[in-house]
Chains A and B, each alone.
Chain A
Amino acid sequence: MNPFMKEMRVAYAFIERNINLIKRYWGWEVVWLIYSLVNSLAVTYIGAGMEKITGQTLDTQYLITYLLVGTLIWSYLSVIFYSISEMIAWERWEGTIEYTFMAPVSRATHLVGTTLFAIIYGILRTLVILIIVASFFNLDLAGANLPGAVLLLLAGSVSFVGLGIVAAVLPLLYPERGAQMTNAAAAILLLISGVYYPVETLPAWLQVVSSASPATYVIKGMRGCLLHGQSTRSLLSIVFILIAAGTAVIMVGLFIFGRVERYAKRTGRLKRSG
């Protein structure tokens, strides 16, 4: 068997493990899906109710789609971010971290398995939410560029994989509060990336910070595709930037992870209880 196939077989260990975790913790999955669904509906209804809130005539359909795109893309990107950033937190919580780190598996292979699962799971989960939420509103996506949207989403995933790796370092460094710290990191991304409002609404200094978030470009591009039918050709530069920046973040993330793993081994932080 060639080395690539060998590594892919090892990477499948993480895909199968995560599928088993979903099967065994299906109750949690249902609860989380309901939470995301209700959250998406609640946010989208803000758009539906805007005429009543302001007492003015507005393009409600545009507002609904604007908010729905934001909430769905955020739902997808946060699945990628959390699936990767929690790869250490789960193992620590279950107590299996030492066994996984003792196995002859490179961190890159560990990551490939976790990422493949996260992308498939994120797409399926977002589709379920989209189908249910769409049944509540009359969505008109006739002029939308759907292939361009998918391309942008996949390019955006690369950056979130990188951010997930950087965040995964936190539970390794801080056994007790690392997982909570990743929540704070996700919340900051939510604030600055223009998920529910244009980034131009933010104070000038936060707009500067928002330009560093890959989600800013993904969400802006997605709105261009789905609301204005922006062509795939015009998106290529953003796609290229997202893939290039994502690859760089993954490289930096792997480097940081390697250093922190070594530090954890030096200080004895891999232990289950920390």
Chain B
Amino acid sequence: MNRAKIITFIIEKFFWICALLSLLALLLILGFLLKEGLPPLFSIGFGDFLLGTSWKPLEDTFGIFPMIAATAAATAGGILLGGFVGLFTALFLAEVASPKLARLIRPLIQLLAGIPSVVFGFFGLVLIVPWISNHLGGPGNSLLATILILSVMILPTLASISETALRAVPQEYREGSLALGASPMETLFKVTLPAAKSGIIAAFVLGVGRAVGETMAVVLVCGNRPQIPKSLLDPIRPLTSTIAMEMSYSTGTHQQALFAIGVVLLVFIVALNLCVNYILKGRKDV
């Protein structure tokens, strides 16, 4: 082999190693979170940990069911509200708006996506929380405040991924439908939307991931009381907030239990990604 060939070989291997870094990083993250979080899961017991309803670190009682319930309720609310508005925004931008109007609005949605989560949290804390407290009652820091903030935060992700999926639907679908006498609105909801189904479902699944994982915005508005929410105005404490609130002062078993929460979150996120992979791979449409 001459020198040029050797250099080429080395450079190409170097590219490969850089690509491999992502896989290594993921394995490292999985390894270290499991190393810290699995032992307490076994010592506390999976059932007691996941289904236990009381979280009292001082008494060594670690049950995260209230937090799972809080995360589930907040995510469901956020996805319903943010998903609906986001999907309709995507439909508007992809199919209804003039190209000029869409070009005007799209950067605004990107800006919304770029706003740091702590700014969302701060905004919620100074405007939404007092508003809820004054007009609807309760402390203000509540499931409702969390849902409102989460829905605005996941909206841009949902809107932009859904829009991409809608734009990928071939023009012939729309033309065929219109030629058969369907109105533009029927075409949009009965032809284009179903054709973009798998991309849109993937967007929703990713949105769920974001809502479940969101921390700094939620911790400022949720109220931080580990209880199963019974009404929209109850203060709650999702899984991520628990880690964020207690990590800075926890030690020993308490800290390990926080890592165990991290493992629960991680398993959920990886499972969600597998779902997205499956949905996008199995897509027959488009």
B is bound to A: no
Identify the B interface with A (CB < 8 A): none
Identify the A interface with B (CB < 8 A): none
